[in-house]
Structure 1
């Protein structure tokens, strides 16, 4: 059994992770942490009492439970510190919180190697989202004019989403950089054309009712191609989270990014 603690266990994603861990035969939930504590983690997740009360002290939880893995769905402002703490205690972080900078990722890689411990980050844990990104890369080889629209719930803190940025980075590897749109186009309102990345445009939508959605639109002579993925429920991320919890125990020390790296 792989011993797992969930950081951010009181939140919507964290509660869903608790449920997934409790219901997997190879994983054992041994701890739960959040800034809001005091409730049985299973009750909060809707899977019945577990006897594991959500704590507000991550270090104490690690000391008491000696976990193998920490799943972290907290916030961009705290995830670097919580991941660093886990690594220094030789606990393997599986991070689903987006918003870490390249410098922070490099530092986590350094800390992980210093402590001979693996660290894993994924911009999106949905299997379908990984396939969407792979298909977008293939399409970009033949249709290099592309824009990305990502749509999320209105409580998401970072924009563009991590998935959109990873998609753009992957597309950049297979297309020649070029600025899209008319050479003399003018924005009547700042930001109307979205954010620019290597000449591509990325647009972020934040509205109630959405969970996580992305479409990659390619344009060519007389045709368009749209590749879209929709997560209509947070359970869509759980097969990827569970997979990461199992695979990370066999990864080399250091940082591994994105689900495609651990999918067989």
Structure 2
């Protein structure tokens, strides 16, 4: 049995994660975490009585949970991850927007403690495959742009998935892209890949990578129409993370 703590359990992704954990016979929801909670009664939040409702890092230890699943916000995720690692709980982080310096610091911390963890820009298998295919295509099409489309409430832009995709395109290139006009309309450049962020109601999570070459073009696109699509990846991460001895970036490390 894998005991799981969910941080950000009151949000849309947190609620999906809670239900997914409760639907698996090999998972147990042992705790939830939210520093804004003042009443620690799980039944006030529609949770079973045995679930611990925590609101402070001092309440954490390895007996609370095996795995910490985090769907909070960019302002809290680094501190949450550090607290989980220091408590001996394996972090599975789905929150976008972590600063590279924080990410590198947490990787070093987890390595020093020989604790496995995961930072996943995206838990959707289609998104993981898109990033893989984009990296492969970049060897033949160095000129690329990314359009990422999300719901209006997404706090970070560009998305963590788009940033990760840009890095993979840069890693896959065998030659430099052509020089182009550079202004505000060209999007934010990440590893010399223009990234355009769309925030509109009706969208969930979508990404399109456009490659151009002499006389031809290639488009790779993935669409997540329901947050349930991420739950298969979250379940994989929960099962695999305890087998790792370091904090890694990207769900593909566990596939």
TM-score by length of 1: 0.88
Q: Give the corresponding residue for 1:145.
A: 143
Candidates 198, 201, 210, aligned match of 2:194: 201
User: 1:15 — aligned with what?
Assistant: 15
Question: What residue number does 2:105 align with?
Answer: 107
Are residue 235 (structure 1) and residue 233 (structure 2) matched? no
Cα deviation for residue 174 of structure 1 reads 1.9
Residues 36 and 56, structure 1, Cα contact 8 Å, conserved in 2: no
Q: Aligned-pair RMSD on alpha carbons?
A: 2.2
Alpha-carbon distance, 1:255 to partner: 1.4
Cα 1:59–1:80, aligned 2, differ >3 Å: closer, same or farther?
same
2:114 alignment partner in structure 1:
116
In 1, Cα distance between equivalents of 2:110 and 2:62: 21
Cα deviation, 1:1-55, whole Å, max 9, x if unaligned, reads 01101000001111111011111121111111224545987996xxx75335673
Distance 1:83 1:151 in 2: 27
Separation of aligned partners in 1, 2:115 and 2:191: 34
Which has the higher mean CA deviation after the structures are superposed, 224-233 or 51-60?
A: 51-60
- For residues 207-234 of structure 1, give each alpha carbon's deviation from its aligned partner in whole angstroms, at most 9, with x where no partner exists: 1111110000111223221110011111
Contact 2:36 2:55 (C-alpha < 8 Å) held by counterparts:
no
Q: Conserved in 2, the CA contact under 8 Å of 1:41 and 1:49?
A: yes
Q: Secondary structure at the match of 2:53?
A: coil
Query: The residue matched to 2:21 in structure 1 has which SS?
Result: helix
1:114 positional shift:
3.0
Q: Deviations over 1:53-102 (max 9, x none)?
A: 67351436535952100100001111111111111110111000011122
Tell me: CA distance 1:231–1:186, structure 2 relative to 1, closer, same or farther (3 Å): closer
TM-score normalized by structure 2? 0.91
Q: Could you tell me which residue of structure 1 aligns to residue 248 of structure 2?
A: 256
Q: How does 1:1-264 map to 2 (within 5 A)?
A: 1-35=1-35, 37=37, 50-52=48-50, 55-59=53-57, 62-63=60-61, 66-175=64-173, 176-181=175-180, 185=181, 187=183, 191-252=184-245, 254-263=246-255
The runs of 5 or more residues in structure 2 that have no matched partner are: none
Q: Distance in 1 between matches of 2:43 and 2:218?
A: 43
In the alignment, the residues of structure 1 paired with residue 177 and residue 76 of structure 2 have an alpha-carbon distance, to the nearest angstrom, of 36
TM-aligned CA deviation for residue 110 of structure 1? 2.1
SS at match of 1:246: helix
